[in-house]
Amino acid sequence: MTDLLSAVYEIFSSESTYLNGALFAAFLAFAATGEWVAERSGTLNISVEGMLLGGAFAAAMGCHLTGSVAVGLLTAILGGVLIAGVQAEMSHRLAADQFVVGLTLNILVLGLTGFLENEIAPETTLAGRWEIPVLSDIPLLGQALFGQRWPFYILYLLLPLSWWLVYRTRWGLELRSVGENPQSADVSGIDVNKRRRQSIYYAGLTCGLGGAFLIFGHIGRFEDTIVGGRGFIAIAAVIFGGWTLRGTLAGCVIFAGALSFRLSIQGLGYDINSELLQALPFVVTIAGMAIFAHRVRAPAALARPFIRGLR
Amino acid sequence: MTAVTAGAAGGSDAQPLRTGRWTRLSEWFALYGMSIFAALVLSAILVEATGGDWRPVVSALFDGSVRRPGRWGETLATAAPLLVVALGTVISSKAGLVNIGQEGQLYVGAAIGTYFGFLIGGPGPINVVLILIIGAAGGGLWAGVAAGLRYWRGVPEVLSTLLLVTVGGQAVAYGLRWEWLLLAPEGRRGNRNQVSEQLAPDNRLPRPDLFGNEFPLTVFIAVVLAVIVAFALSRTVWGFRLRMLGRNPRAAQRSGVSETRYGAMALMLSGAFAGLAGAAMFTGGGFAFGNYQMVPGFSANIGWTGLLVALVAYEKPLAAIPVAVVFAGLRTGSSFVGSTGVEGRITDVISGLLVLALLIPAAVMFLRDRRRARAAATERV
């Protein structure tokens, strides 16, 4: 037991834990930010997984064709937005069930990227590492937060931007009203389904960036298993965070901590049952929802489609 | 797609609401034909663009699913669990619940059925029935976790069922590590380290042989279940209450239908169907499903695909039968596609595109009907 405790201490005092944790958390945060915006507008967008995978593949393809990371970033955004387009147009223009569309998209993108990866096998490179002077010398956290490859730093722009868009612009106000009370929003002249489509497109953009980050800032090559269900953890982070950006980020950090802890403790040679550790983030999420779902308030119209004249 | 909607709506403005039955029917056919055709053309383009040829792929799909000897039996054997999963999904979505965790419910149900099957180890036929029943109970229990979270703690069932898929998968994998749970004893697991014992031959579901095609008894069970579910949903008080709950929870509440009771029942039933499908795969699956052994990844995406079947069949139990066969055909056909030099995963793409394509006609028709009704309403004013 003391053995284990010292191992845990070792994990918490090693820089690599924080480095890995930051990588995981950043990936989740890219996805969760977009998902948060989408959910504030009343869409429970479950195609995040597909958007991330599509974005990652598009990033790999962009880099494969041009050799440039920047171009890869752009194609990743295109890929994410393309999948978001299918989701948005089908669920909020054609009024098909959003869960059905999202689920199908996840399966379709998984099959498509797996198929194309086998046929093309894109070659990618990692982006360059940027060390922010002074800040990256902070012990423990410095390297994790300020010594990463440059796509990581996009997050530092994306988070304030998302906050500002949702809480400080007219567009954001309309977006939130659409998520709370679409009937009233409709009466006051807001195109409900248009706002919802736009929020899904925004989620596509951030997920595309997240996929690109995964390729250029973390792993370095594409496989169809690289996302591996983490899109769903991002959705859970939004719920865990009670539909606030702060809480969502906290959720990302906690779930990423669970993921990173698993890697570190196995790296030290401790065989704490890997199945249980793998299920840990999901169990934490379910428990968190069970405790907090009553206390936090979801957007009132979350997952309710809006068709004028019906309800 | 918008062009289709706009054009069609423009044409019908002349005589709103009173469109003839045949016009409607032909519209349905045209819409379905067009969208399915589009999905297939897209898949063909994809194959051609990656340097393949679409004709041999189609031929291989037919070879693998029906044409080669013994293959259509294999297809039916795959269709059966898909159908059972789909039937459960129909029940829960009729009650207005979104259960998307069938994959986990199937896996957990099958594992629990397996555990008790080996634990009890009764005489053959009785044990098979026991495994099926316990499997169903296990799947229902796993869905019951989500139902409990939904009705006592207010956790949306969409997410809890989904997250429980991973938890269930890991739980079964954990069980496969310990001999006192599922793992086979030392000498009987070969050099694999996560595998259960093999089910004894007299504990398996019989596999009748028709014209050289073998398939387990599950096929008949599944069809009978489809008829029962169709009847129960459309012709019984229970089914009526369930549908009322799905269509208008408030009206249901006022007329004395307990949301908690019927909702939880629907969710657990849908889990039970998934668990039954899993247990049936285990006791009658053959080589396609673990060869009578519980292994990691046993569920093999049957839960996900079964969910798609239910969605494509628009919550109609009997319509789910042909849909299940088509999706099973795509699955069994995919193993033959590899020989044409095109990656077999193209079938995943085809089925995904097909589902999306099949969603479009109903959505378009729904919007058009509403537009017509609105036009009629304004005319009356």
pLDDT class of B226 with cuts at 50, 70, 90 = very high
List CB contacts (< 8 A) between A290 and chain B. Answer: 149, 153, 155
pLDDT class of B15 with cuts at 50, 70, 90 = very low
pLDDT class of A271 with cuts at 50, 70, 90 = low
A161 and chain B: CB distance < 8 Å anywhere?
no
Length of chain A: 311
**Cα-Cα-Cα-Cα dihedral of A58, A63, A68, A73, to 10°?**
20
Question: Which residues, at least 6 apart from B236, have a Cβ–Cβ distance to it below 8 Å?
Answer: none
Taking the C-alpha atoms of residue B204 and residue B284, their distance in angstroms, rounded to an integer, is 6
pLDDT class of A19 with cuts at 50, 70, 90 = confident
Interchain contact, B348 vs A97, CB within 8 Å: no
pLDDT at A122: 87
The mean of the pLDDT values for chain B is 84
pLDDT in tens, A89-98: 999 988 888 8
Q: Ramachandran region of residue B370, left (φ > 0), alpha (ψ -120 to 50) or beta? A: alpha
pTM of the model: 0.87
Taking the C-alpha atoms of residue A177 and residue A85, their distance in angstroms, rounded to an integer, is 22
Residue B220, pLDDT > 50, answer yes
Of A259-268, B45-54, B56-65, B335-344, the range with the lowest mean pLDDT is A259-268
Mutating which of B150, B170, B369 best tests the A interface, going by the most A Cβ atoms within 10 A?
B170
List CB contacts (< 8 A) between B355 and chain A. Answer: 100, 104, 107-108
Q: Which of A221, A215, A204 is nearest to A117 (CA)?
A: A221
pLDDT in tens, B85-123: 999 999 999 998 889 889 999 999 999 998 988 888 777
pLDDT at A270: 67
Interchain contact, A103 vs B307, CB within 8 Å: yes
Q: Which residue of B has its CA nearest to A121?
A: B50
pLDDT at A7: 75
pLDDT class of B289 with cuts at 50, 70, 90 = confident
The mean of the pLDDT values for chain A is 87
Q: Which residue of B has its CA nearest to A283?
A: B167
Q: What is the mean pLDDT of residues B36-63?
A: 86
Residue A273, pLDDT > 80, answer no
Taking the C-alpha atoms of residue B186 and residue B195, their distance in angstroms, rounded to an integer, is 11
Interchain contact, A96 vs B98, CB within 8 Å: no
Interchain contact, A232 vs B2, CB within 8 Å: no
Residues 236-265 of A with CB under 8 A from B: 236, 239
Question: Which residues, at least 6 apart from B287, have a Cβ–Cβ distance to it below 8 Å?
Answer: none
Q: Is A93 helix (H, G, I), strand (E, B) or coil?
A: coil
Interchain contact, A275 vs B346, CB within 8 Å: no
B171 and chain A: CB distance < 8 Å anywhere?
yes
Which string of b and e fits B171-190 if b means at least 16 CB within 10 Å? bbbbbbeeeeebbbeeeebe
pLDDT in tens, B122-149: 777 888 899 999 999 999 999 999 999 9
B226 and chain A: CB distance < 8 Å anywhere?
no
Q: Could you give the C-alpha distances from B182 to A271, B9, B165, B191, in angstroms and in order?
A: 20, 59, 19, 16
In eight-state DSSP terms, residue B172 is H
Q: What is the mean pLDDT of residues B237-256?
A: 90
The answer to whether the Cα torsion of A267, A270, A274, A277 is positive or negative is negative
pLDDT at A269: 66
pLDDT class of A260 with cuts at 50, 70, 90 = confident
Residue B18, pLDDT > 70, answer no
CB B270 within 8 A of CB B92: yes
CB A45 within 8 A of CB A205: no
Q: φ, ψ for residue A113 (rounded to 5)?
A: -70, -35
pLDDT at B2: 38
Burial class from Cβ neighbours inside 10 Å (0-12, 13-18, 19+) for residue A228 reads middle
Burial class from Cβ neighbours inside 10 Å (0-12, 13-18, 19+) for residue B237 reads exposed
In eight-state DSSP terms, residue B1 is -
Burial class from Cβ neighbours inside 10 Å (0-12, 13-18, 19+) for residue B69 reads exposed
- Kindly report the nearest CA distance between residue B222 and chain A, in angstroms: 24
Interchain contact, A289 vs B374, CB within 8 Å: no
Mutating which of B349, B353, B365, B378 best tests the A interface, going by the most A Cβ atoms within 10 A?
B349
Q: Which residue of B has its CA nearest to A310?
A: B370
Taking the C-alpha atoms of residue B263 and residue A147, their distance in angstroms, rounded to an integer, is 51
pLDDT class of B6 with cuts at 50, 70, 90 = very low
Interchain contact, A119 vs B51, CB within 8 Å: yes
A228 and chain B: CB distance < 8 Å anywhere?
no
Please, what is the angle between helix A170-180 and helix A192-213, to 10°? 110
- Kindly report the nearest CA distance between residue A219 and chain B, in angstroms: 23
Residue B12, pLDDT > 60, answer no
A114 and chain B: CB distance < 8 Å anywhere?
yes
List CB contacts (< 8 A) between A118 and chain B. Answer: 343, 345
Taking the C-alpha atoms of residue B36 and residue B250, their distance in angstroms, rounded to an integer, is 38
The answer to whether the Cα torsion of B290, B291, B294, B299 is positive or negative is positive
Interchain contact, B359 vs A104, CB within 8 Å: yes
pLDDT in tens, B297-321: 888 888 888 988 998 888 889 999 9
CB B355 within 8 A of CB A102: no
Residue B44, pLDDT > 80, answer yes
3-state secondary structure A47-90: CHHHHHHHHHHHHHHHHHHHCCHHHHHHHHHHHHHHHHHHHHHH
Angle formed at CA A235 by CA A202 and CA A61, multiple of 5 degrees: 55
pLDDT at B225: 95
* Domains of chain B by residue range: 73-328
B160 and chain A: CB distance < 8 Å anywhere?
yes
pLDDT class of B1 with cuts at 50, 70, 90 = very low
Q: What is the mean pLDDT of residues A13-18?
A: 80
**Cα-Cα-Cα-Cα dihedral of A233, A235, A239, A241, to 10°?**
70
How many pairs of residues across A and B have Cβ atoms under 8 Å apart?
A: 148
pLDDT in tens, A34-67: 999 999 999 989 899 999 999 999 999 999 999 8
pLDDT at B297: 80
Q: Which residue of B has its CA nearest to A238?
A: B159
* Domains of chain A by residue range: 19-227
- Kindly report the nearest CA distance between residue B339 and chain A, in angstroms: 14
Of A50-64, A276-290, B1-15, B170-184, the range with the lowest mean pLDDT is B1-15
Q: What is the mean pLDDT of residues B167-194?
A: 80
With a pLDDT cut of 70, the percent of chain B lying above it is: 94
- Cα Rg of chain A (Å, integer): 20
pLDDT at B188: 72
Residue A14, pLDDT > 80, answer no
Residue A169, pLDDT > 90, answer yes
Question: Which residues, at least 6 apart from A127, have a Cβ–Cβ distance to it below 8 Å?
Answer: A69, A149, A150, A151, A216, A217
List CB contacts (< 8 A) between A298 and chain B. Answer: 156
Q: What is the mean pLDDT of residues A223-231?
A: 85
- Kindly report the nearest CA distance between residue B133 and chain A, in angstroms: 27
CB B88 within 8 A of CB B274: yes
Report the complex ipTM: 0.84
- Tokens representing B1 are 């797609």
CATH topology of domain B73-328: ABC transporter involved in vitamin B12 uptake, BtuC (1.10.3470)
